[in-house]
């Protein structure tokens, strides 16, 4: 199954929410964090809006320095409970798209779309939709990146911040990452960068420079992490989505190139989908209690049918048998060419 990951990150989250609540501050530099106490404050900047970033202010900077850089900025305390409330609303919108996601923080998540779509233009549509939902419901902008791994999705997201959406297809990964500074690769921080600069006797290293090092050289230098770096500078990242909430279901859908009436094609496709779903469900080592099938016909009418049973271990045979029965009934009933097929299992 081809992996398609969508990374979403709110733009200057806390600061944007403060702007939303206080429209009179719009356009001015806003710094959310500790009390600057006229330059004597001891805490740090939590975040700041893009206007404040133009003065060189950034997250984690001592608030006293931020104050020196821009004394006229609006300094606001961190209202975490409020931000958490909005974050919950946003994650409820994400839930509508998939339950297969990793929540990284209040304002950031990785969504694994692999099961529900088959190509990058569909992924882009989901990204646009999500941005629109969040803007409409919460009146804030976010950025979205889409790629075949968490790393590429995140880099794509950062590329067009704020209010951006970028898709990096697998064939474009190399040109996309090769000239990025090496610290843009997750796992390469300032210390690793320094070591790499020493090894290669060169400053301002770009991702492609690291490719001149063999896997052995990198492993000798950095241990296990070296192998990771070797792969990442080649655009390969196999880190998995760590689901935050336990998944409620697993499914897979497929849209035919052309609507079809061909029973053999329909059954074969359904069998393949069942197999994929069964494999993933089995890997969860949990019992399933329901099989849901989806069928979209010519004209775009979409129907679901489901059957529930006493919880059992998932198997390809069981899932296929339960599903195909529902599917054949539905297709006979509607008697129309099929556009999309889907199967999903719900866990106990
Ligand atoms: P980020 O997504 O890192 O930053 P951001 O949303 O403010 O800005 P960007 O547009 O670059 O995404 O972090 C999300 C929120 O987490 C941020 O609004 C404030 C909080 N935060 C801290 O409190 N301390 C920190 O050091 C960082 C990085 C973030
Ligand atoms: Mg953010």
The closest-lying atom of ligand 1 relative to the alpha carbon of residue 14 is 18
Rounded distance from Cα 48 to ligand 1 centre (Å): 8
The pLDDT, as a whole number, for residue 125 is 97
Question: 17-69 pLDDT, tens per residue?
Answer: 999 999 999 999 999 999 999 999 988 999 999 999 999 999 989 999 999 99
Q: Does the annotation mark 21 as catalytic?
A: no
Could you tell me which residues are beta bridge partners of residue 5?
112, 147
Model-level pTM? 0.78
Element (H or E) spanning 278, and its range?
helix 263-283
Beta carbons within 10 angstroms of residue 96's beta carbon: 10
Annotated catalytic residue within 18, 51, 88, 108: 108
253, two tokens: 């859908």
Question: 210-238 pLDDT, tens per residue?
Answer: 999 999 999 999 999 999 999 999 999 98
Phi, psi of 88 (to 5 degrees): -60, -45
The pLDDT, as a whole number, for residue 248 is 82
Question: 102-124 pLDDT, tens per residue?
Answer: 998 899 999 999 988 989 999 99
Element (H or E) spanning 293, and its range?
strand 288-297
The pLDDT, as a whole number, for residue 217 is 96
Question: 232-281 pLDDT, tens per residue?
Answer: 999 999 888 877 556 788 898 888 889 999 999 999 999 999 999 999 88
The pLDDT, as a whole number, for residue 246 is 65
Say if residue 6's pLDDT is above 90.
yes
Residues with CB under 6 A from ligand 1: 9-14, 46-47, 59-60, 105, 107-108, 161-162
């Amino acid at each position: 199954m081809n992996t398609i990951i969508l990374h979403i990150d709110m733009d200057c989250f806390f600061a944007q929410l403060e702007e939303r609540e206080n429209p009179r501050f719009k356009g001015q530099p806003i710094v959310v964090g500790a009390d600057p106490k006229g330059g004597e404050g001891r805490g740090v900047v939590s975040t700041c809006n893009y206007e404040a970033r133009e003065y060189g202010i950034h997250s984690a900077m001592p608030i006293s320095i931020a104050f020196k850089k821009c004394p006229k900025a609006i300094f606001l305390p961190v209202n975490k409970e409020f931000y958490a409330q909005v974050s919950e609303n946003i994650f409820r919108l994400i839930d509508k798209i998939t339950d297969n996601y990793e929540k990284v923080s209040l304002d950031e998540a990785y969504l694994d779309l692999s099961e529900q779509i088959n190509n990058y233009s569909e992924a882009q549509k989901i990204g646009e939709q999500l941005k629109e939902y969040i803007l409409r419901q919460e009146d804030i902008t976010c950025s979205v990146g889409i790629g075949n791994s968490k790393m590429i999705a995140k880099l794509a997201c950062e590329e067009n911040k704020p209010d951006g959406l970028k898709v990096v297809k697998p064939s474009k990964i190399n040109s996309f990452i090769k000239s990025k500074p090496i610290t843009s690769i997750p796992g390469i921080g300032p210390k690793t960068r320094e070591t790499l600069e020493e090894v290669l006797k060169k400053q301002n290293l770009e991702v492609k420079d690291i490719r001149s090092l063999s896997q052995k050289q990198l492993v000798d230098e950095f241990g296990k992490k070296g192998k990771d770096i070797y792969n990442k500078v080649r655009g390969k990242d196999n880190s998995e989505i760590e689901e935050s909430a336990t998944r409620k279901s697993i499914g897979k859908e497929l849209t035919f190139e052309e609507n079809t009436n061909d029973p053999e094609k329909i059954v074969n496709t359904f069998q393949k989908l069942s197999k994929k779903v069964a494999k993933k469900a089995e890997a969860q080592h949990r019992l399933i209690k329901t099989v849901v099938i989806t069928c979209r016909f010519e004209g775009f009418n979409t129907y679901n049918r489901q059957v529930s049973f006493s919880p059992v271990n998932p198997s390809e045979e069981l899932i296929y048998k339960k599903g195909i029965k529902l599917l054949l009934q539905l297709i006979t009933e509607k008697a129309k060419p099929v556009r999309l097929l889907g199967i999903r299992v719900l866990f106990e």
